Amino acid sequence: MWTAIAQHISAKTGMPFSVDERRSVSGGCINQAYQLTDGGQTFFVKINQATQVAMFEAEALGLQDIYDSQTIRVPRPICWGTADGTAYLVLEWLDFGSSQDPAWALMGQQLAALHRVSSDRGFGWHQNNTIGATPQPNPWTETWLDFFREHRLRHQFRLAGRRGGHFPRQHEVFMALPELLAHHYPEPALVHGDLWSGNAAVTKAGEPVILDPATYYGDREVDIAMTELFGRFPPSFYEAYQAAYPLDEGYPRRKTLYNLYHILNHFNLFGGSYESQANRMIDQLLR
C-alpha cells in the first residue's frame, strides 16, 4: 500500500518520492494519520477503510476550494484513492507550532476574507460531504432558511430519530425557524463547516491554518458559532473578525440554532448526553 501511495504522490507532484520513514501522527478523531518522508519531501497521510474514499475525496475538494480562494492557509491536497483495500488522502505536511496572539488576529482577518467568497448558485456545494463521519448533504438551494431547515436540521433530526433520540419539542423548532431567521438574509459564504479548536492551528512560522473542513456555501455565522461551542477561540480572533466583517444583529440567538446542528451530529456520532444538551438548546431557542 505505501509503495502505491508513494507512486501516486510522485505522479501528482512530478517528483520522485519513496517512503523512507513513516511515523504515526496522533490527534485525529476518525482516521489513522501518518507522516511520510524521504528525507527531503514530507507528506501527511490519512487512511481509513476503502469505503471511506468518498469522504476523503470530499475533504480534498473542500481543501482545494479553500486553497484556491487564497484567503487562509490550508494543507494543499496532493492525491487520494484506494490501495490494497485502504482509502488514503495525502496532504502537504505542515509544521505546527504553539499558537500566539498575532496569529489568532490574523486567523480572524483571514477567515473573514474566506467568508467574502460567495457563490451565485446559492447555498450548498457541488457535492455532498461529511461532518465528522456523518453524511452532510449539500444540494444547491436558493434560500438559507430552506437549506438550513432541510439539509442541516431536518437531516440530523432524522438520523437522531433513527438512533432512538427523543426530542419532544422538535416540531416547535421547525415552526419557530422562520422567526428565528427573520430579517436575516446572509450572502452564501464559503465556510469551513466544522471549525472547532481541534481544526485550527498555527504553523511554526506563525501562519494560521484551518484543517479538516466540511466545506459548503452557507451563512458565515455557522463558523463563528462553532468556534464558541466547545470553548472559545482567543479574544483577538473575534476582535479581528468583527473589524474585518462585522456580524449581523441577532447573531447570539442564531448561534444556538446553528450549534444545535453540531450537537445533534454529536448525538448521532457518540450518543449519550448530547441528547439532553440538544433538548436544553431547543428549550433555550423556544424561550
Compute the residue count for the chain. Answer: 287
Measured CA to CA, the distance from residue 167 to residue 281 in angstroms comes to: 11
Choose one: 21-29, 223-231, 233-241, 252-260; the region binding ligand ADP (CB under 6 A). 21-29
Asked whether position 30 contacts ligand ADP by CB under 6 A, the answer is yes
Number of C-beta neighbours around residue 114 at 10 A: 23
Reference 168, options 67, 46, 276; nearest CA is 276
**Residue choice 4, 19, 33, 177 for contact with ligand ADP (CB under 6 A):** 33
Reported as type and span, the H/E element at residue 161 is helix 155-162
User: Which phi and psi (to 5°) does residue 246 adopt?
Assistant: -60, 145
Q: Which is nearer to ligand ADP, 133 or 145 (CB)?
A: 133
Q: Which residue has the closest beta carbon to ligand ADP?
A: 28
- In three-state secondary structure terms, 98 is coil
Contacts with ligand ADP in 114-143 (CB under 6 A)? none
Choose one: 78-86, 90-98, 251-259, 267-275; the region binding ligand ADP (CB under 6 A). 90-98
Alpha helices in the chain (DSSP H): 2-13, 53-69, 101-115, 144-147, 155-162, 170-180, 221-227, 235-244, 251-270, 274-285
Measured CA to CA, the distance from residue 247 to residue 229 in angstroms comes to: 17
Measured CA to CA, the distance from residue 137 to residue 124 in angstroms comes to: 8
Contacts with ligand ADP in 195-214 (CB under 6 A)? 198, 211-212
Measured CA to CA, the distance from residue 177 to residue 174 in angstroms comes to: 5
Contacts with ligand ADP in 242-271 (CB under 6 A)? none
**Which residue out of 65, 194, 212, 223 is catalytically annotated?**
194
Asked whether position 85 contacts ligand ADP by CB under 6 A, the answer is no
Measured CA to CA, the distance from residue 167 to residue 176 in angstroms comes to: 15
Minimum CB–partner distance for residue 42 and ligand ADP (Å): 8
Determine whether 194 is an active site residue: yes
Contacts with ligand ADP in 211-240 (CB under 6 A)? 211-212
Minimum CB–partner distance for residue 182 and ligand ADP (Å): 36
Q: Which is nearer to ligand ADP, 38 or 187 (CB)?
A: 38
Residues that bind ligand ADP (CB under 6 A): 25, 27-31, 33, 44, 46, 75, 91-94, 198, 211-212
* Catalytic residue annotation: 194
